[in-house]
Amino acid sequence: MKSQDIRKAYLQFFESKGHLIVPSAPIVLKDDPTLMFNNSGMAQFKEYFLGNATPKSPRITDTQKCLRVSGKHNDLEDVGFDTYHHTMFEMLGNWSFGDYFKKEALPWAWEFLTEVLKLDKDRLYVSVFEGNEAENVPFDQEAFDIWKQFVSEDRIILGNKKDNFWEMGDQGPCGPCSEIHIDLRTDEERAAVSGRSLVNADHPQVVEIWNNVFMEFNRKADGSLEKLPAQHVDTGMGFERLCMAMQGVTSNYDTDVFTPLIQKVEQITGLKYTSNEVKNISEEQNKTNIAIRVIVDHVRAVAFAIADGQLPSNTGAGYVIRRILRRAIRYGFTFLNTKEAFIYELVAVLANQMGEFFPEIKKQQTLVTNVIREEEASFLRTLDQGLVLLKDLMLAHTGQISKEKLEIGGDYIFKLYDTFGFPEDLTALILKENGFTYDKNGFNEELQKQKSRSRAASEVSTDDWKILVEGNTESFVGYDQVENEVKITRIRKVDSKKDGVLYQIVLDATPFYPEGGGQVGDKGTLVSANETIEIIDTKKENNLILHFAKKLPENVNASFIAKVNTDLRADSSKNHSATHLMHQALRSVLGTHVEQKGSLVNPNNLRFDFSHFSKVTDEELQQVEAFVNARIQEQLPLIERRSIPIKQALDEGAMALFGEKYGDNVRAIKFGESMELCGGIHVNNTADIWYFKIVSEGAVAAGIRRIEAITGDAVKAFFASQENTLNEVKIALKNPQDVLKATLSLQDENTKLKKQLEVLLKEKAKNMKAELAKELQEVNGIQFLAKQVDLNPEGAKDLAYELGNLGQNLFLVLATAEEGKPMLTCYISKELVADKNLNAGQVVRDLGKFIQGGGGGQPFFATAGGKNAAGIPEALAKAIDFVK
Q: Which stretch binds ligand SER (CB under 6 A): 13-21, 196-204, 229-237, 368-376?
A: 229-237
What distance in Å separates the CA atoms of residue 628 and residue 579, rounded to the nearest whole number?
9
Among the listed residues 211, 427, 579, 788, the single contact to ligand SER using CB under 6 A: 211
Name the minimum Å distance from CB 157 to ligand SER. Answer: 17
228: helix, coil or strand? strand
Q: Which stretch binds ligand SER (CB under 6 A): 38-46, 82-90, 590-598, 605-613?
A: 38-46
Assess contact for 421 and 326: CB atoms under 8 A. yes
* Contact code string over 163-192 relative to ligand SER, x by CB under 6 A: ---x--------------------------
Among the listed residues 235, 542, 686, 711, the single contact to ligand SER using CB under 6 A: 235
Buried-exposed string 576-598: b where 16+ CB fall within 10 A, e elsewhere? bbbbbbbbbbbbebbeeebbbbb
User: Of 684, 657, 694, which is closest to residue 582 (Cα–Cα)?
Assistant: 694
Partners of 564 in the β-ladder: 524
Assess contact for 98 and 53: CB atoms under 8 A. no
Residue type, 760: L
Nearest CB to ligand SER, comparing residues 173 and 423: 173
Residue type, 106: L
Among the listed residues 41, 309, 680, 859, the single contact to ligand SER using CB under 6 A: 41
Name the minimum Å distance from CB 327 to ligand SER. Answer: 23
What distance in Å separates the CA atoms of residue 837 and residue 863, rounded to the nearest whole number?
18
Classify burial at 201, counting beta carbons within 10 Å of its beta carbon; exposed 0-12, middle 13-18, buried 19 or more.
Answer: exposed
Name the minimum Å distance from CB 121 to ligand SER. Answer: 22
Nearest CB to ligand SER, comparing residues 40 and 629: 40
Nearest CB to ligand SER, comparing residues 234 and 508: 234
Name the minimum Å distance from CB 173 to ligand SER. Answer: 10
Name the minimum Å distance from CB 95 to ligand SER. Answer: 9
Nearest CB to ligand SER, comparing residues 72 and 103: 72
Name the minimum Å distance from CB 211 to ligand SER. Answer: 4
Nearest CB to ligand SER, comparing residues 167 and 256: 167
Name the minimum Å distance from CB 27 to ligand SER. Answer: 15
What distance in Å separates the CA atoms of residue 668 and residue 642, rounded to the nearest whole number?
7
Return the residues of window 642-661 that contact ligand SER according to CB under 6 A: none
Torsion over CA of 499, 502, 508 and 512, rounded to 10 degrees? -40
**Size of site (CB under 6 A) for ligand SER:** 10
User: Of 324, 278, 281, 319, which is closest to residue 300 (Cα–Cα)?
Assistant: 324
Name the minimum Å distance from CB 40 to ligand SER. Answer: 3
What distance in Å separates the CA atoms of residue 30 and residue 740, rounded to the nearest whole number?
50
Q: Which stretch binds ligand SER (CB under 6 A): 39-47, 100-108, 299-307, 433-441?
A: 39-47
Among the listed residues 40, 178, 231, 573, the single contact to ligand SER using CB under 6 A: 40
Name the minimum Å distance from CB 162 to ligand SER. Answer: 13
Buried-exposed string 697-735: b where 16+ CB fall within 10 A, e elsewhere? beebbbbbbbbebbbbbbbeeeeeeeeeeeeeeeeeeee
Q: Is 93 in the site for ligand SER (CB under 6 A)?
A: yes
User: Of 278, 272, 304, 276, which is closest to residue 291 (Cα–Cα)?
Assistant: 272
Q: Which stretch binds ligand SER (CB under 6 A): 233-241, 329-337, 450-458, 863-871?
A: 233-241
Nearest CB to ligand SER, comparing residues 24 and 711: 24
Name the minimum Å distance from CB 43 to ligand SER. Answer: 8
Q: Taking CB positions, which residue lies at the least distance from ligand SER?
A: 236
User: Of 577, 590, 576, 579, which is closest to residue 622 (Cα–Cα)?
Assistant: 590
- In order of 338, 376, 572, the CA distances from 270 in angstroms are 11, 20, 55
CB atoms within 10 A of CB 278: 11
Among the listed residues 216, 234, 240, 541, the single contact to ligand SER using CB under 6 A: 234
Q: Which stretch binds ligand SER (CB under 6 A): 8-16, 231-239, 497-505, 765-773?
A: 231-239
Among the listed residues 11, 35, 109, 213, the single contact to ligand SER using CB under 6 A: 213
Name the minimum Å distance from CB 199 to ligand SER. Answer: 16
Nearest CB to ligand SER, comparing residues 212 and 353: 212
Assess contact for 596 and 680: CB atoms under 8 A. no
What distance in Å separates the CA atoms of residue 834 and residue 69, rounded to the nearest whole number?
51
Among the listed residues 98, 173, 236, 386, the single contact to ligand SER using CB under 6 A: 236
Name the residues that contact ligand SER, by CB under 6 A. 40-42, 93, 166, 211, 213, 234-236
